[in-house]
Amino acid sequence: MKHACLAALALLLSGCTVGPKYSKPPAPSPPAFSEPPPQSFLESQGWKQAQPAETTLRKDWWELFANAELNGLEEQVDPANQTLKAAEARFRQARAQIQFNRSSLFPMVTTNPSITTNRESRHAPLGSLPGDYGNYVLPVDVNYEIDAWGRIRRSIAAAREEAQASAADLETVRLSLHSEMAVDYFELRSLDAQKRLLDETLVAYQKALELTQNRFDGGLSSGAEVAQAKTQLETTRAQDVGVGVARATFLHAIATLAGRTPESLELESVPLRMTPPVIPVGVPSQLLERRPDIAAAERRMAEANEQIGIARAAFFPTLLLTATGGFEGNRLVNWLSWPSRLWAVGPSVAETIFDAGRRRAASESAGAGYDEAVANYRQAVLSAFQDVEDNLSTLRVLEQQAQAQRIAVESSHQSLILSVNRYKGGLVTYFEVITAQTIDLQNEIAEVDILRRRIDASVLLIKALGGGWDVSNLPS
């Protein structure tokens, strides 16, 4: 009956849990994005009209850009990137902590067998046993903490929520690395486009210098005009060489993201020339379920709530059940005999009577930690909406700018042709040709840069939308 009562009491007490029950607090969520998703794109220079995209992003979102080389580079990130491996190791570490805390739900069984030979002093103050004697001990100790106030269960829940947050952190790192790979790749291809443009410009400037030199030889141009043409040529040549430095930097960054040494990767020059894809944006309420960083903030908010319960459980007594059994003898022959058995069993209660406010301070600290987690969660939500709106507005404005820039490029081309013809006819000085050349080159470089910024904004919008991830992917 005593044992039955103790077991019933343990089961009854294990049903108690002190501390607040977790409920996800509300977060700001607008009914719709203020910026409409871009649906029309520039259709000129051989670009094709963008096709309608799927309604939701896929995990391999980079395939939206229809670039086989980019797809191959992105596929190297997961198995080889060391930053991602470190994040995955942190997740496994957090997951192991769940089992570490769960083990406290079960009794701990330990043993400490010993064999000693003893001789006590005959001059001991209380006397001693005569002669030598042995002491053979084989104890088995059982210790069990009754989870009366839910401290252990809340520790398990907190470890589980931290593991889920670490899993979301892993996905955040994964999304950032894949996005960085795409941005670096398109930056490199933009530099390739600039390089080709500068190479073609150098050919044109070389012909212009030869024309000016011939006119100077014929007495139709001055030496100053020859010097101007040569200056224009060499300045552009220096700019052309400088592009190679920036390209090498991005190439090395791509190799590192792919888990390779910089010298092991070579990419042929391919100018950036594509149409930004149509990206499915969805509704704002979906964003809370699609961003791994928001999921991580929410899980840590739940973990902070568990810490409040753990801190409050410290105000209640700790209930323990202990038992010891085994054998003890003074000789090897009688060590494991039935008369050598020993045992002891019983409950104990431990309670802190005075701690100078330590537990109260810990409880207040846990409450403040929860308030911090709530603020971090809501800030993560606000930042996510800002990221989406920023990139939507960037895409909208850049699309309009690209259309205007195309007109400017065509006009500068026509102006340059007219200036060269007027110079050949002796109607203007070479200064007008240089001005037209400079404006034309600047417009062409600006057009390449706008396309790069549009592609980058597309990648960043995908990143802001969560990159095809969903909160249902969190480990249970």
Q: Residues 16-68: pLDDT tens digits?
A: 788 899 999 998 888 888 877 655 433 333 434 444 445 678 889 999 999 99
- Is residue 274, in this structure, part of any structural domain at all? yes
pLDDT class of 91 with cuts at 50, 70, 90: very high
User: How deeply is 225 buried, as exposed, middle or buried, from its count of CB atoms within 10 A (0-12, 13-18, 19+)?
Assistant: buried
One domain, residues 117 and 235: no
One domain, residues 141 and 154: no
Distance CA 229, CA 208 (A): 7
Beta bridge partners of 144: 321
133: phi then psi, degrees, rounded to nearest 5? -150, 155
pLDDT at 431: 87
Q: Give percent above pLDDT 70 in the chain.
A: 92
pLDDT at 130: 64
* pLDDT reading at 10 higher than 60: no
Quick: pLDDT tens for 427-458: 888 888 889 999 999 999 999 999 999 999 99
One domain, residues 185 and 246: yes
One domain, residues 82 and 200: yes
Q: Which structure tokens are listed for 92? A: 């496994």
* pLDDT reading at 379 higher than 90: yes
Quick: pLDDT tens for 269-321: 999 998 899 888 888 888 899 999 999 999 999 999 999 999 999 999 999 99
- Is residue 286, in this structure, part of any structural domain at all? yes
- Is residue 5, in this structure, part of any structural domain at all? no
Beta bridge partners of 322: 143, 346
One domain, residues 118 and 26: no
Contact 475, 95 (CB under 8 A): yes
Of 384, 361, 342, 374, whose CA–CA distance to 469 is shortest?
A: 384
pLDDT at 9: 52
Helix runs in 315-429, H state only:
358-424
One domain, residues 408 and 458: yes
Q: Going by C-beta distance under 8 Å and a sequence separation of 6 or more, which residues neighbour residue 17?
A: 149, 150, 153, 154, 309
pLDDT at 1: 52
- Is residue 6, in this structure, part of any structural domain at all? no
Counted residue by residue, the chain has a size of 476
Of 225, 281, 329, whose CA–CA distance to 463 is shortest?
A: 281
pLDDT at 182: 97
Domain with residue 331: its CATH number is 2.20.200.10
What is the β-pairing status of strands 114-119 and 341-350?
Answer: unpaired
Distance CA 57, CA 227 (A): 56
One domain, residues 256 and 289: yes
Distance CA 107, CA 17 (A): 20
Which of residues 350, 368, 403 is at a domain's end?
350
pLDDT at 2: 56
**For the chain, what is the domain count?**
2
pLDDT at 41: 38
Domain with residue 402: its CATH number is 1.20.1600.10
* pLDDT reading at 4 higher than 50: no
pLDDT at 35: 76
Residue-wise burial string across 239-259, b where 16 or more C-beta atoms lie within 10 A, e elsewhere:
bbeebeeebeebbbbbbbbbb
Quick: pLDDT tens for 382-435: 999 999 999 999 999 999 999 999 999 999 999 999 998 998 888 888 888 889
pLDDT at 457: 95
What does the DSSP 8-state code read for residue 57? -
Contact 136, 335 (CB under 8 A): yes
Report the amino acid identity of residue 394.
T
Quick: pLDDT tens for 327-351: 999 888 888 999 999 999 999 999 9
Give the helix, strand, coil percentages of the chain, each rounded to 5: 60, 10, 30
- Is residue 10, in this structure, part of any structural domain at all? no
Measured at the CA of 424, the angle between CA 421 and CA 428, to 5 degrees, comes to 85
One domain, residues 279 and 409: yes
Question: Helix, strand, or coil here: 440?
Answer: helix
Positive/negative CA dihedral, 68, 73, 74, 78: positive
One domain, residues 228 and 133: no
- Is residue 273, in this structure, part of any structural domain at all? yes
Quick: pLDDT tens for 208-261: 899 889 988 888 888 888 998 999 999 999 999 999 999 999 999 999 999 999
- Is residue 72, in this structure, part of any structural domain at all? yes
Distance CA 84, CA 86 (A): 5
Quick: pLDDT tens for 151-205: 999 999 999 999 999 999 999 999 999 999 999 999 999 999 999 999 999 999 8
What is the CB neighbour count within 10 angstroms for residue 218?
8
One domain, residues 456 and 325: no
How far lies 352's CA from each of 167, 307, 359, 365, in Å?
A: 38, 19, 10, 19
What is the CB neighbour count within 10 angstroms for residue 402?
19
- Is residue 11, in this structure, part of any structural domain at all? no
One domain, residues 154 and 252: yes
Distance CA 142, CA 13 (A): 20
One domain, residues 443 and 396: yes
Q: What is the residue range of 325's domain?
A: 106-146+317-350
